[in-house]
């Protein structure tokens, strides 16, 4: 595993960057297309307007969430993916693997989260707690989500998952598995760490709207900053700010 200590070759770095940019751009292009047509009842991309979702509605919403997670999370996973790609391209014995399969495992984990988010949105829509566009219609729900997300920022689970997401070398040394199967497993495990780190922030999409692109972009930027800035101050300040916002929303002094 000494290969992970070597500086990444420029060719590997460029390939990883290009691949992630293409996937992320395609994900955001889909979200933009969806945003432009989601209110058109005659469109294939129309959001379910009633709580009586069909199988097609469930598949459509899961696809939306899965693509959204890819667009939001892949940029923040770039340092880990780059470190893995550098390792498996080092020609050292025992470190063979597959970067595409690592990314696939990572996205599979977030697709699983997308299934849970789809179920949550369906249940909230059925209870009339969110609009068809996924916007909270209850200050208690919105405030509760903000309070919960803020409190989670101070937990040991958040801290432990975020610390591992910030240290690609540590993850590779402790979780290394060679070969294609190992690549998928490592991707799954890193995805699980990211879910553990960021699920509460993703739940905040229900506050201002699941398809509010500005809100999606802001949450994605916060996730990226948390992973790139090696300081707990941002995490704690964000947690406090979310709790204040949540409390203000519940008592009716904030929108």
Q: How many domains does the chain have?
A: 1
H or E segment and range at residue 44 = none
Cα–Cα dist 109/152, whole Å: 20
Q: How far is CA 123 from CA 117, 138, 161, 206, in A?
A: 10, 14, 28, 12
Q: What is the pLDDT of residues 208-227, one digit of tens each?
A: 888 899 999 999 999 999 99
The contacts of residue 110 (CB under 8 Å, 6+ apart) are 66, 69, 70, 73, 191, 194, 195
Each as own residue / partner, the long-range contacts of residues 227-233 (CB below 8 Å, 24 or more positions apart, any chain) are 227/76, 227/79, 227/162, 227/165, 227/166, 227/197, 228/76, 228/79, 230/166, 232/159
Q: Which of 8-22, 75-89, 103-117, 121-135 has the lowest mean pLDDT?
A: 8-22
Q: How many CA atoms lie within 13 A of 61 on its CB side?
A: 25
| pLDDT surpassing 60 at residue 2 | no
Domain hosting 167: range is 2-251
Residues of the chain above pLDDT 90, percent: 70
pTM given for the model: 0.90
Interior/surface letters 67-90, b for 16+ CB within 10 angstroms, e for the rest: bbbbbbbbbbbbbbbbbbbbbbbb
Q: Are 143 and 250 in contact (CB under 8 A)?
A: yes
> 4 pLDDT exceeds 50?
no
């Amino acid at each position: 595993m000494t290969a992970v200590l070597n500086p990444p070759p420029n060719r590997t770095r460029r390939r990883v960057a290009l691949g992630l940019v293409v996937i992320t751009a395609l994900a955001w292009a889909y979200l933009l297309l969806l945003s432009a047509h989601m209110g058109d009842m005659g469109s294939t991309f129309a959001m379910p307007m009633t709580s009586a979702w069909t199988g097609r509605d469930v598949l459509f919403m899961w696809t939306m969430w899965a693509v959204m997670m890819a667009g939001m999370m892949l940029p923040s996973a770039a340092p880990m993916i780059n470190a893995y790609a550098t390792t498996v391209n080092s020609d050292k014995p025992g470190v063979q693997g597959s970067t595409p399969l690592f990314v696939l495992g990572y996205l599979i984990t977030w697709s699983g989260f997308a299934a849970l988010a789809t179920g949550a949105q369906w249940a909230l829509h059925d209870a009339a707690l969110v609009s068809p566009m996924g916007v909270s219609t209850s200050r208690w729900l919105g405030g509760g989500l903000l309070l919960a997300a803020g409190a989670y920022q101070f937990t040991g689970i958040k801290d432990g998952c975020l610390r591992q997401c910030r240290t690609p070398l540590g993850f590779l040394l402790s979780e290394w598995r060679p070969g294609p199967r190992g690549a998928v497993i490592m991707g799954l495990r890193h995805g699980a760490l990211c879910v553990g780190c960021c699920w509460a922030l993703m739940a905040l999409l229900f506050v201002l709207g699941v398809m509010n692109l500005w809100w999606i972009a802001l949450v994605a930027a916060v996730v990226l900053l948390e992973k790139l800035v090696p300081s707990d101050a941002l995490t704690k300040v964000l947690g406090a700010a979310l709790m204040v916002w949540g409390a203000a929303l519940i008592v009716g002094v904030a929108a």
